[in-house]
């Protein structure tokens, strides 16, 4: 008689465990839920392939510029600035365009034009007619179409992804970018570029066409709603006014813009220069360096893809960004390749965790019809000082040495984050979330799977 209740108890316990596991799978593995939706799946697939090509081209173009200019750090900085400058100049216009036309069509046009530009570059390399002037022109044209692509993909995301899966989508794109664009792509790119630079750039061209094909297969998206008769200038001003009136956006963008300019934008110049010029490492090592950055960033993206939006979004976001800035101090004592790697291994996942929180906040706190313009202001301010910063970083690193430069800017970059973390006014945007979290919640078991009210308004 005593065994029957025990057997029933074990059966019920096993059933409970199965229900718990099933609930966890359904609710917690956001990437699995995201993969069930056709449009996000096509977008991520196309972008993943394209990001692999970008990773190959990242190493190939860096080495191409260094070879063309006889290892000139300042000219490599000018090349990076030439691509970033038109992004900054045209971003606000690009944001207004994104809020006027189908975001999917704009992404399709951007991919096709960039495929054409890379094809022309391949021909110039193969025929031996490529000079530094042509490289600068390529960078300017490429950056111009980047100015449309970046706000367009941010604004398209909430149109094709359910709100509860936005954090997962905002993490899976950088996850694929880090795995393919910053890890596998650069590793392969270093090997291919050592044999043939034109082949490496050709791979990037082909991947743009794959991305365009994925966008073509997606269902048409509607044209954003807008007030009839308004000019593009007035629409740009409306987006700028929204940012100026929103404290967490305004302050955060200024701080991020300065930090990017002096600390993180110059990485693409200073890390290869440190490895090649100071440590005398091979081209393959440069590719592996970018690959390690991608691997560590992918780990951060994988964690972020399943991460609940924190209650104190501002403090968590700026906390991880501040630690990422301070990790640059490691370069000050680095004497070999492996010590240099500690910096990106620490910084990359932390930067990405903060970026996911930031982008999810924008997509939930900013009105949908303003998202393209606000996103363009975001990109404009975060990249605005980068062209100047990259050039100045190249000059100062040549004068001071790369190690000294990183020690100075790491300390400077951490100061804004500490101030924002301590500011009550900036953290006021999370006040409502904190009040909701103080309300006592019933046990999870009293709610059927998928109906837990505590998941509402928390970005889960």
CATH number for the domain including 275?
1.20.1250.20
The 3-state secondary structure of the chain reads CCHHHHHHHHHHHHHHHHHHHHHHHHHHCHHHHHHCCHHHHHHHHHHHHHHHHHHHHHHHHHHHHHHHCCCCHHHHHHHHHHHHHHHHHHHHHHHHHHCCCCHHHHHHHHHHHHHHHHHHHHHHHHHCCCCHHHHHHHHHHHHHHHHHHHHHHHHHHHHHCCHHHHHHHHHHHHHHHHHHHHHHHHHHHHHHHHHCHHHHHHHHHHHHHHHHHHHHHCCCCCCCCCCCCCCHHHHHHHHHHHHHHCHHHHHHHHHHHHHHHHHHCCHHHHHHHHHHHHCCCCHHHHHHHHHHHHHHHHHHHHHHHCCCCCCCHHHHHHHHHHHHHHHHHHHHHCCCHHHHHHHHHHHHHHHHHHHHHHHHHHHHHCCHHHHHHHHHHHHHHHHCCHHHHHHHHHHHHHHHCHHHHHHHHHHHHHHHHHHHHHCCCHHHHHHHHHHHHCCCCCCHHHCCCCCCHHHCCCCC
How high is the pLDDT of residue 326?
Answer: 93
Residue 285 inside a domain? The answer is yes
**Mean pLDDT computed over every residue of the chain:** 78
Q: Report phi then psi at 306, rounded to 5.
A: -115, 15
Structure confidence by residue, pLDDT tens digits, 138-158: 888 888 888 788 788 888 888
How high is the pLDDT of residue 438?
Answer: 55
**CA–CA gap between residue 77 and residue 286 (Å, rounded):** 16
Distances (CA, A) of 334 to 43, 324, 407: 39, 17, 11
**CA–CA gap between residue 147 and residue 333 (Å, rounded):** 37
pLDDT at 420 exceeding the cut of 80: yes
Tokens 């050709």 sit on residue: 202
How high is the pLDDT of residue 112?
Answer: 92
CB atoms within 10 A of CB 155: 29
- Which of the four pLDDT bands, split at 50, 70 and 90, describes residue 381? confident
pTM of the model: 0.63
Q: Which residue has the higher pLDDT, 266 or 442?
A: 266
How high is the pLDDT of residue 364?
Answer: 82
Structure confidence by residue, pLDDT tens digits, 317-365: 999 999 999 998 988 888 888 888 888 888 888 988 888 889 888 888 8
CA angle 32, 54, 163 (to 5 degrees): 30
**CA–CA gap between residue 12 and residue 253 (Å, rounded):** 53
List of residues 6+ apart from 456 with CB closer than 8 A: none
How high is the pLDDT of residue 14?
Answer: 44
Q: Which residue has the higher pLDDT, 443 or 108?
A: 108
pLDDT at 434 exceeding the cut of 90: no
Mean pLDDT to the nearest integer, 80-88: 78
Q: Which residue has the higher pLDDT, 92 or 39?
A: 39
pLDDT at 453 exceeding the cut of 70: no
Structure confidence by residue, pLDDT tens digits, 10-19: 344 344 344 4
Residue 176 inside a domain? The answer is yes
How high is the pLDDT of residue 29?
Answer: 60
Residue 44 inside a domain? The answer is yes
pLDDT at 430 exceeding the cut of 80: yes
Identify the weakest region by mean pLDDT among 35-39, 185-189, 217-221, 430-434: 430-434
pLDDT at 76 exceeding the cut of 80: no
C-alpha closest to that of 159 among 41, 44, 39, 47: 39
Residue 11 inside a domain? The answer is no
Query: Tokens in use for 136?
Result: 């600068």
Q: Which residue has the higher pLDDT, 3 or 205?
A: 205
Residue 177 inside a domain? The answer is yes
Residue 454 inside a domain? The answer is no
Structure confidence by residue, pLDDT tens digits, 155-214: 888 888 887 777 778 777 777 777 787 777 877 887 888 788 888 888 889 999 999 999
Structure confidence by residue, pLDDT tens digits, 281-318: 776 777 777 777 767 777 777 777 667 778 888 999 99
State the total domains in the chain: 1
Residue 255 inside a domain? The answer is yes
Cβ proximity of 340 and 289 under 8 Å: yes
Query: Tokens in use for 392?
Result: 């100045």
Cβ proximity of 81 and 140 under 8 Å: no
Q: What share of the chain has pLDDT > 90, as a percent?
A: 15
How high is the pLDDT of residue 456?
Answer: 30
C-alpha closest to that of 285 among 275, 293, 295, 271: 275
Residue 20 inside a domain? The answer is no
CB atoms within 10 A of CB 365: 13
pLDDT at 368 exceeding the cut of 60: yes
Q: Which residue has the higher pLDDT, 49 or 3?
A: 49
How high is the pLDDT of residue 391?
Answer: 81
How high is the pLDDT of residue 36?
Answer: 80
How high is the pLDDT of residue 318?
Answer: 94
pLDDT at 215 exceeding the cut of 70: yes
Domain extent for 101: 38-219+235-436
How high is the pLDDT of residue 6?
Answer: 37
């Amino acid at each position: 008689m005593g065994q029957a209740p025990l057997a029933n108890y074990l059966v019920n316990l096993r059933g409970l465990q199965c229900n718990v596991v099933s609930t966890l799978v359904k609710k917690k593995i956001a990437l699995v839920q995201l993969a069930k939706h056709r449009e996000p799946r096509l977008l991520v697939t196309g972008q993943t392939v394209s990001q692999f090509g970008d990773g190959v081209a990242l190493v190939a173009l860096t080495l191409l510029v260094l070879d063309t200019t006889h290892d000139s750090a300042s000219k490599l900085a000018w090349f990076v600035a030439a691509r970033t400058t038109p992004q900054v100049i045209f971003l606000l216009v690009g944001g207004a365009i994104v809020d006027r036309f189908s975001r999917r069509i704009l992404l399709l046009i951007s991919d096709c034009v960039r495929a054409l530009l890379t094809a022309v570059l391949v021909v110039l390399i193969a025929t031996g007619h490529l000079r530094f002037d042509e490289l600068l022109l390529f960078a300017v044209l490429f950056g111009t179409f980047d100015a449309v692509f970046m706000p367009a993909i941010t604004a398209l995301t909430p149109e094709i992804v359910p709100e509860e899966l936005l954090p997962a989508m905002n993490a899976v794109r950088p996850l694929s970018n880090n795995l393919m664009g910053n890890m596998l792509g650069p590793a392969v790119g270093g090997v291919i570029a050592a044999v043939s630079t034109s082949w490496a750039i050709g791979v990037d061209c082909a991947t743009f066409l794959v991305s365009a094909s994925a966008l073509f297969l997606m269902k048409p998206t509607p044209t954003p709603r807008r007030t009839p008769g308004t000019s593009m200038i007035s629409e740009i001003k409306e987006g700028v006014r929204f940012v100026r009136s929103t404290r967490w956006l305004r302050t955060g963008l200024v701080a991020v813009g300065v930090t990017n300019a002096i600390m993180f934008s110059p990485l693409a110049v200073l890390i290869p220069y440190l490895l090649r010029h100071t440590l005398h490492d091979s081209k393959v090592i440069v590719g592996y360096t970018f690959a390690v950055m991608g691997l560590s960033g992918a780990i951060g993206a994988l964690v972020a893809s399943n991460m609940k939006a924190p209650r104190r979004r501002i403090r968590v976001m700026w906390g991880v960004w501040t630690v990422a800035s301070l990790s640059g101090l490691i370069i000050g004592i680095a004497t070999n390749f492996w010590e240099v790697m500690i910096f990106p291994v620490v910084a990359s996942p932390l930067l990405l965790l903060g970026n996911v929180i930031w982008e999810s906040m924008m997509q939930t706190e900013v009105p949908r019809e303003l998202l393209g313009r606000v996103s363009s202001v975001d990109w404009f301010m975060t990249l605005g000082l980068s062209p100047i910063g990259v050039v100045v970083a190249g000059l100062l690193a040549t004068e001071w040495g790369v190690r000294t430069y990183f020690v100075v800017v790491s300390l400077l970059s951490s100061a804004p984050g500490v101030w924002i973390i301590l500011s009550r006014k900036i953290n006021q945007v999370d006040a409502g979330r904190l009040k909701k979290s103080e309300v006592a919640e019933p046990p999870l078991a009293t709610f059927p799977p998928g109906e837990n009210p505590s998941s509402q308004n928390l970005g889960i």
